[in-house]
Amino acid sequence: MLFHKTMKQNNVLVILSVLVYGSHAQGEKKSPCDIFVQDVNNLTLNCSRRNIDKIPLWPEEIKGLGEKDSHVLITFFNNSITNVTQLSPVPGNKIAISFKSNKIVEIEDDAFRKIDRMVYLDLSKNSISGEVLRSEIFQGPYNNGVYSDIALETLNLGFNEIHSLDRYLFQYTPNLTRLYLNNNPIEILDHVTIIALSSATKLEVLDLSKTDIDNIPLDAFKGLVKLRQIDLSGNFFLNVPESLSIVGKTLQYLTFNNNPIIELNDDSFVGLTNLLELEVGENENLEEVKRSTFSPLTKLRVLHLCHNKNLRYISHNAFRGLKDKWTLKEVYLDDNNLSELSTDLMPWNKLEVLGMTGNNWLCNCDLANIVTKQDAGSKFRAGEIPYCAAPMRLNGAFITNITVSFCPTFDTTFAAKRGFSFSDLRPKHILWSILGVGTVVGIGMICGILFNAAKTCYKKKFCQPIRYININSESSFA
């Protein structure tokens, strides 16, 4: 331990001495970038907000740092760089570089050849097209007539002008695990883009949010045998893509917000047997969650079903087949258009966290049962207790304050029959009985009188006696 401590102290002294030497260097052009040494293992080269339009030279101080086992961050955030030229070597074992929020329209071949230990690259919020992105950009050092790979693990291409990817784009980045393509006008995942994605066989995280796509071909994820997280938010899907089932054995996190989907049903999540967390929110057209919707999700632990302003119905069988092997720990149903939930929707007492705020809850017997008898009321977070919207007498009250006292109960036991006696009668009972009998008799008499009067009147008007004639005595027939 003493040896390691001494080595760290020596490293710090070396860095400080180099910085001091560099600060007294004369006659050399000053770099616009600054070096910040957090400790012997972390170095930041800050070139952000310097109003630069091309890649500058590194400060002289950096040349004396050597190839240490450290992390180096280089940031060009918020400048006016239009062309990424080849970068000079940088010390460090793991290097992260950010060109976020520039005006990049071109990247030269071999731009990162001398920084083959670069593990993180942020090119987001620029004007990069798909034609600019070529495999040659990511070529490593040239040895024995062959370009080697670079260590790149995370590539952020969000907020650019990409319609398609070159099929060989990831040829020299075999370690790529996180790819962000969000906020690009992709519209269609064409054949070459699918080939490019499939070649990134170690990809674990894929962000396709706000790319204007409405369909994913069945073979799009065929080669992504390690994909565990995908974001499809802000697109034009009318259904959850069936192609997700291809990666169902590895996919653990799915975000499906802000799509024009109308309903979730028993086909929505087929094959996603290892999904741990599902987020379906801000879908303005979503109205129903139907029978067996979540049945395929046998390992789901967190469900976000929030901010769907027209969601009014969740089938009591939405979790059909899961209630006996329940895995869900957190369920969020906030800010929907729900008013009622079935008591047997889920085993409420097995949850750890429940969110229900921002709905129009009808505080009826079912809700009282869920909150009190099934202990759902203890799952709300502090300050997130939902309110009753109806009936009027409970409007604005916390749903945890409602009780089952006003709800009907049914006794399933059999009580012995008791004989009737006149002692059970009360004066009001006798009075009401006499009044009722008198009313019935009176109405009957009135109806009888009216009937007889009508009968008499009818006889006088329409019923004349029949006059019989004796033809033998009538002279007119003689």
Compute how many other C-beta atoms are within 10 angstroms of the C-beta atom of residue 29: 7
**Structurally, how many domains does the chain consist of?**
1
pLDDT (0 to 100) of residue 77: 97
Token readout for 210 is 């706000």
Structural domain contains residue 42 = yes
Structural domain contains residue 219 = yes
Residue 427 DSSP class? H
Contact between 236 and 212 (Cβ < 8 Å): yes
pTM for the full predicted model = 0.79
Structural domain contains residue 14 = no
Query: pLDDT exceeding 70 applies to what percent of the chain?
Result: 81
**Which backbone phi and psi does 35 adopt, to 5 degrees?**
-110, 130
Asked whether residue 185 carries a pLDDT value surpassing 80, the answer given is: yes
**pLDDT band per the 50, 70, 90 thresholds, residue 13:** very low
Burial of 3 (0-12, 13-18, 19+ CB in 10 A): exposed
pLDDT tens for 87-102 read 999 888 899 999 999 9
Structural domain contains residue 206 = yes
Instruction: Quote the CA–CA distance of 80 and 258 in Å, as a whole number.
Output: 33
Q: Taking all residues of the chain, what is their mean pLDDT, rounded to a whole number? A: 86
pLDDT tens for 358-412 read 999 999 999 999 999 999 999 999 999 999 999 999 999 999 998 766 565 444 4
CATH classification at residue 172: 3.80.10.10
Structural domain contains residue 211 = yes
pLDDT (0 to 100) of residue 65: 64
Alpha carbon of residue 210 to chain centroid: 14
Contact between 187 and 164 (Cβ < 8 Å): no
Token readout for 341 is 């939930």
Is 70 in a helix, a strand, or coil?
Answer: coil
Pairwise pLDDT comparison (384 vs 473), residue with the higher score: 384
Structural domain contains residue 214 = yes
Structural domain contains residue 359 = no
| Structural domain of 107 | 30-227
Is 154 in a helix, a strand, or coil?
Answer: strand
The dihedral region occupied by 66, where left means phi > 0, alpha psi between -120 and 50, and beta the remainder, is left
In Å, the largest CA–CA distance within the chain is: 167
Asked whether residue 131 carries a pLDDT value surpassing 50, the answer given is: yes
- β-strand 42-46 against 34-39: which pairing, if any? antiparallel
Asked whether residue 26 carries a pLDDT value surpassing 90, the answer given is: no
Among 128, 189, 185, CA closest to 155: 128
- Peptide bond between residue 391 and the one before it cis (omega within 30 degrees of 0): yes
Asked whether residue 129 carries a pLDDT value surpassing 60, the answer given is: yes
Structural domain contains residue 54 = yes
Residue 417 DSSP class? P
pLDDT tens for 295-322 read 999 999 999 999 999 999 999 999 999 9
Give the HSE-up count for residue 260: Cα atoms under 13 Å, Cβ half-sphere.
8
